[in-house]
Structure 1
Amino acid sequence: MTVRKSYADGSVRAAGRAGFVARGAVYLLVGALALGIAFGRGGEEADRQGAVQRVAEQPFGSVLLWVLAAGFAGMALWRAWAAAVGGAGVRGAGGRAVSAARAGFYGFVCWGTAVSAAGGRSGEGGDAASRDWTAAALRLPGGRFLVGAAGLALLGVGVGVAVRAVQRRFLRKLDTAAMRPRTRTAVTATGVAGNLARGAVFAGAGAFVVVAAVRFDPGRAKGMDDTLRAFAASGPGPWLLVAVAAGLLLFGAFSLFSARWRRL
Structure 2
Amino acid sequence: MVDKSEKVVWLARVGFAARGLVYVLLGYLALTAGKSDIDDGAGDIFRVLNAIPGGPVVLYIASAGLVGYALYRLSAALFDIERKGTSWKGRASRVGYLASAVIHLGLAWTAARIASGARGAGEDSSAQMASGVLDFPFGSTLLGIIGVAILIAAIFQARSAVTAGFMRHVSSRAPRFTCWIGRAGHAARAVVMALIGWSLLRTAWFGESEEVVSLGKGINNLRDMETGFQFVAAGLLLFGVFSIITARYRIIPDPTPPAMGLRAISI
2:54 maps to a residue whose letter is F
* Structure 1 counterpart of 2:237: 249
Long gaps (5+) in structure 2? 253-267
Structure 1, residues 45-86: CA drift from partner, whole Å, max 9, x if none? 361111101101112211211221122132234334555665
* Structure 1 counterpart of 2:214: 223
More deviation, 22-31/155-164: 155-164
* Structure 2 counterpart of 1:61: 55
2:228 maps to a residue whose letter is L
Distance 1:238 1:96 in 2: 35
Between the aligned residues of both structures, percent identity stands at: 29
Answer yes or no: is 1:259 the counterpart of 2:232: no
| Contact 2:96/2:149 (<8 A) preserved | no
1:192 maps to a residue whose letter is R
Answer yes or no: is 1:158 the counterpart of 2:154: yes
Structure 1, residues 123-175: CA drift from partner, whole Å, max 9, x if none? 4533xx22122223333444444433332332222122111221111011111
1:114 maps to a residue whose letter is A
Q: Which has the higher helix share?
A: 1
More deviation, 98-107/153-162: 98-107
Q: Aligned to 1:45, which of 34, 39, 43? A: 39
Distance 2:197 2:74 in 1: 26
* Structure 2 counterpart of 1:139: 135
2:108 maps to a residue whose letter is C
| Contact 1:36/1:42 (<8 A) preserved | no
* Structure 2 counterpart of 1:21: 17
- Alignment map for 1:54-93 (pairs within 5 Å): 54-82=48-76, 86-89=80-83, 91=85
CA 1:36–1:261 in structure 2 vs 1: closer, same or farther (change >3 Å)? same
Distance 1:148 1:80 in 2: 22
* Structure 2 counterpart of 1:240: 228
Long gaps (5+) in structure 1? none
CA 1:47–1:71 in structure 2 vs 1: closer, same or farther (change >3 Å)? same
Distance 1:150 1:107 in 2: 17
Answer yes or no: is 1:214 the counterpart of 2:205: yes
More deviation, 189-198/105-114: 105-114
- The offset of 1:107, in angstroms, is 2.8
* Structure 1 counterpart of 2:261: none
Instruction: Give me the CA root mean square deviation.
Output: 2.6
Runs of at least 4 residues off by over 6 Å: none
- The offset of 1:255, in angstroms, is 0.1
2:203 maps to a residue whose letter is A
More deviation, 8-17/91-100: 91-100
Q: Aligned to 1:203, which of 189, 194, 199? A: 194
| Contact 2:40/2:214 (<8 A) preserved | no
Structure 1, residues 203-261: CA drift from partner, whole Å, max 9, x if none? 0111122223333322121111111111113xxx3222111100000000010111111
